[in-house]
A and B are shown apart, each in its own frame.
Chain A
Amino acid sequence: MTLQADRVVWHRGGKLVVDEVTLRPAPGTTIGLLGPNGSGKSSLLRLLNGTAKPESGVVTLDGAELSSLARRDIARSVAVVSQHADTDVDIRVRDVVRLGRIPHRGSFGTASATRDEEAVAEALRHTGLADKADQRWHTLSGGERQRAHIARALAQEPRELLLDEPTNHLDIRHQLELLSLVSRLPVTSVIALHDLNLAAIFCDEVIILERGRAVAAGPPREVLTAELIARVYGVRARVGVDERGRLTVLFEPGALESSDELTPEDAPPAW
C-alpha cells in the first residue's frame, strides 16, 4: 500500500484541472507525470500531498483518506520538492536540510537529536552536498539548490517523494544527475516532467495528462508514441529506439494544424 489517487476531481478557479485521475504507483517505482503546461500536473501533485482536497474521488495513504490524517502524519511519509522554492533567509545548507526533520519533532523538542543529525548527514551525503553543508543558501548554484531541496525531502525519511518539475532551469548535466539520483532512491517518486526523453530514461511508468484527464499510462516505451505526442502536445515528433534499446524522441519544427497552442488554462493559479 502506498500513496494512491482514485478517480480524483478538482476544480480550481472554476476550471476543471484534475478530471477523474487514478494513480497507483508500485512501491519504489519512479512515475513520470507528463503533459503540456496547464494539463494538471502540478494540481495532481497538490492533491497527492494533501494541500488540496479533491471534490470527488479520494487520495489515500496506506488506505487512510489523506484528509483524515494530520498534516504532520502525512509529512512523515510524503515529502515534496516544489517549483520555485526560494528564500530570503540567510540560511545554511545544513539548516535547510534540517527542516526535513520538523515532522519528526514535537513542539518543544525532538524525539532523538542523534537520529535527526544522522538523517541530515545521510541526506547530505546522498545528494553529494556533504562538503557544502556549511555554505549559505545564496551561494549555491541552481542545481545545488535543487539537490538541497531533495536532501531536505530525504531528511524527512519519506516513503513517497513528489517532485514538480525539479529539472527546471538546470543545465543538461544537472538534469541527468538529479533524475538519476531520484530514480535510485529507495522511495516511490512521482515527478512532473516536461522532457520526454528524460522521462523515457528515468521513469518506470509515465502518465500523460491532457486538460486534467489521464489519457495514457504505462511504461514509456509503450506510451510515448508519435501519435500520442501529436495529439497531446500538438507537435510532430519522431520516436525511435537507439542502439542501446533506449527510447528517443526527436521533435520537428512547426506546429500541427490541429494544435490549439497554449490555452488560458496555462496561466499559473492566482493566489
Chain B
Amino acid sequence: MTTPVTDGTGSGSGTSPGSTLRVVLLLVGGIVAVALSVGAAITLGPADVSLVNVRDVLLNHLGLADIPVRVVKDAIVWEERLPRALTAAAAGAGLGICGAVMQSLLRNPLADPFLLGISSGASTGAVVIGVLGVGGSVIGLSGGAFIGALLAFALVMLLARLAGGGTDRVILAGVASTQLFSALTSFVIFAFADADETRGVMFWLLGSLEGVRWDDVALCAVVVAVGIALCLAYSHALDAFSFGDEIAASLGIAVARVRLGLLVLTALITATLVSVTGAIGFVGLVLPHAARFLFGPRHAGLIPATALIGAVFMVWVDAVSRVAFQPTPLPVGVGTALVGVPAFVLILVRNRRGQ
C-alpha cells in the first residue's frame, strides 16, 4: 500500500495533524479502499466468482482484453453485482455528504438527509404509486418517490418560513413533516394494500439494491459526483457556519442564499438516491461523525472523507445483506440501522460527556 511519509514540519502550510499531506494520503487510501471493496463485494454470493474473474470481466468490458470467461459469470459480475456495488458506493457517498452538509448548515449533530421529510415523503410517493396505482406505469415507483421527496422538502421549507425561519424551525418543520408522511404511508398501506403489495412496498421502504441496472448507476454516480463537487466548492462557506449565522455573514457568506442553495442540493441528491435504493437510514447521520473523528471538522477534508467512508460502508453493508440470509436478501436499510443505531448511541453519549 502506501509507504509511510514523515509529515515534515518545515515548509508550507502542512504543519498540523489535519494537514494537507495527511488528508491527501488518506484520500488516496480511501479511493483504493473503495475500489478493493467493490471488487471483493462482487465475489460474495451464492454463485462462485473469484477476484480473478472480476478482473477479467472488467478488462473485457472495458475493451482492454479478451479473456475467455463463462457467460454466466460474466452476467453475474457485469449485469448484477457490479452495478449493484457501484450504486451502493454512490448511495453511501451521497447520503454521507448530505448528512455532513446538513449537520453543518443546521448546526445540529443529529441532522441527516432524511430530517427534511425527504425519506418519508419518498415513501408516501412510492406507496401512492405502488399501492393506489396513481399514474403507475408512467411515473413508476422511483418517479413517485422522487416527486414525493421533493414535495415533502418543499413543505418543510414552507413551514419553516411560515414559522419565522431559522435553523431550529427547519428542524421542527422537518420532524413534523416526517411524522405526517410516515402516517400517510402507513395509512395507504393499511387501508388499500393487499399482502403482495405490502411486501413489495415494505422491502423498498427499508431500502433495497435488488435489481439495480446500469442506468441507475449512471444516474446516481452523476448526481453524487456533481454533489461532491458543489459541496467542495462551498467547503469554506460550510466552515463559516460553525459559529452561527451572524459570524458566517461577517465572514462574507451570503447566509440565506448559501443555506437554501445547499439544502436544495442535498434534497435533490437524497431524492435521487432514495428513488433508486429506497430509504437507507443512518448512513447520513452516523458516517459524517466518523469522518470528523478521523479528519477533523474542516469541510475541504470532511466532504471527500465522508464520501469515501460512506461508499466503503455501503458496499460492505449491501454485500453482507445480500449473502447473510441467502437466498433471502435482507433489506439494506436493516443492515445500516443495525450498525447505525449503536454508533448513534455512542455519539449521544459522547455529546453528553462533552458538555
Asked if A87 is an interface residue, CB under 8 A from chain B, the answer is yes
B170 to chain A, nearest CB (A): 12
B246 and A116 contact, CB distance less than 8 A: no
Complex alpha-carbon distance, A78 and B252, angstroms: 10
Closest to B232 in A: A108
A271 and B250 contact, CB distance less than 8 A: no
Q: A89-B242, A271-B165 are known contacts. Are A82 and B13 too (CB-CB below 8 A)?
A: no
- Chain A, residues 61-101, CB within 8 Å of chain B (1/0): the string is 00000000011111110111010011111111011100110
B244 and A85 contact, CB distance less than 8 A: yes
B107 and A116 contact, CB distance less than 8 A: no
- Chain B, residues 230-254, CB within 8 Å of chain A (1/0): the string is 0011101101101110110111111
The number of chain A residues with a CB under 8 A from chain B is: 43
A99 and B242 contact, CB distance less than 8 A: yes
Could you say which residues of chain B place their CB within 8 Å of the CB of A95?
A: 18, 239, 296-298
Asked if A1 is an interface residue, CB under 8 A from chain B, the answer is no
B250 and A79 contact, CB distance less than 8 A: yes
Inter-chain contact count A-B, CB under 8 Å?
98
B244 and A71 contact, CB distance less than 8 A: no
Complex alpha-carbon distance, A135 and B240, angstroms: 19
B233 and A80 contact, CB distance less than 8 A: no
B280 to chain A, nearest CB (A): 25
Asked if A250 is an interface residue, CB under 8 A from chain B, the answer is no
Asked if B12 is an interface residue, CB under 8 A from chain A, the answer is yes
Q: A88-B109, A105-B236 are known contacts. Are A71 and B243 too (CB-CB below 8 A)?
A: no
Q: A87-B242, A88-B107 are known contacts. Are A270 and B164 too (CB-CB below 8 A)?
A: yes
Asked if A236 is an interface residue, CB under 8 A from chain B, the answer is no
Asked if A7 is an interface residue, CB under 8 A from chain B, the answer is no
Complex alpha-carbon distance, A92 and B18, angstroms: 10
Could you say which residues of chain B place their CB within 8 Å of the CB of A92?
A: 16, 296
Q: A88-B109, A102-B236 are known contacts. Are A113 and B12 too (CB-CB below 8 A)?
A: yes
Chain B 251-305 residues near chain A, CB threshold 8 A: 251-254, 292, 296-298
Could you say which residues of chain A place their CB within 8 Å of the CB of B297?
A: 89-91, 95
Q: A92-B296, A270-B164 are known contacts. Are A85 and B247 too (CB-CB below 8 A)?
A: yes
B240 and A99 contact, CB distance less than 8 A: yes
A205 to chain B, nearest CB (A): 23
Could you say which residues of chain A place their CB within 8 Å of the CB of B252?
A: 70-76, 102-103
Taking chain A's interface residues, is the majority helix, strand, or loop, or is none over half, making it mixed?
Answer: mixed
Chain B 1-45 residues near chain A, CB threshold 8 A: 12-13, 16-18
Q: A88-B107, A271-B164, A271-B165 are known contacts. Are A116 and B250 too (CB-CB below 8 A)?
A: no
B242 and A103 contact, CB distance less than 8 A: no
Asked if A146 is an interface residue, CB under 8 A from chain B, the answer is no
Chain B 309-355 residues near chain A, CB threshold 8 A: 351, 354
Complex alpha-carbon distance, A70 and B253, angstroms: 9
B249 and A71 contact, CB distance less than 8 A: yes
The number of chain B residues with a CB under 8 A from chain A is: 37
A117 and B13 contact, CB distance less than 8 A: yes
A99 and B12 contact, CB distance less than 8 A: no
Could you say which residues of chain A place their CB within 8 Å of the CB of B254?
A: 71
Could you say which residues of chain A place their CB within 8 Å of the CB of B237?
A: 102
Q: A107-B233, A113-B12, A271-B164 are known contacts. Are A51 and B250 too (CB-CB below 8 A)?
A: yes
A102 and B246 contact, CB distance less than 8 A: no
A99 and B243 contact, CB distance less than 8 A: yes
A138 and B354 contact, CB distance less than 8 A: yes
B234 to chain A, nearest CB (A): 7
Asked if A60 is an interface residue, CB under 8 A from chain B, the answer is no
Could you say which residues of chain A place their CB within 8 Å of the CB of B244?
A: 85-87
Complex alpha-carbon distance, A150 and B242, angstroms: 16
Asked if A156 is an interface residue, CB under 8 A from chain B, the answer is yes
Complex alpha-carbon distance, A75 and B250, angstroms: 6
Closest to B289 in A: A90
A271 and B247 contact, CB distance less than 8 A: no
Could you say which residues of chain A place their CB within 8 Å of the CB of B251?
A: 75, 99-100, 102-103, 156
Could you say which residues of chain B place their CB within 8 Å of the CB of A149?
A: 243
Complex alpha-carbon distance, A76 and B243, angstroms: 18
Q: 19 other contacts beyond A87-B242, A270-B164, with CB at 8 A cut-off?
A: A49-B250, A80-B246, A85-B247, A86-B244, A87-B244, A88-B109, A92-B296, A95-B298, A99-B251, A100-B251, A102-B237, A107-B234, A107-B236, A113-B12, A114-B13, A117-B13, A138-B354, A271-B164, A271-B166
- 17 pairs from A and B in contact (CB 8 Å cutoff): A72-B252, A74-B252, A75-B251, A75-B252, A76-B252, A80-B250, A82-B246, A86-B244, A90-B297, A95-B297, A99-B243, A100-B251, A102-B237, A102-B251, A116-B13, A270-B164, A271-B165
Pairs A-B, 5 closest by C-beta atoms: A75-B252, A72-B252, A80-B250, A103-B252, A271-B166
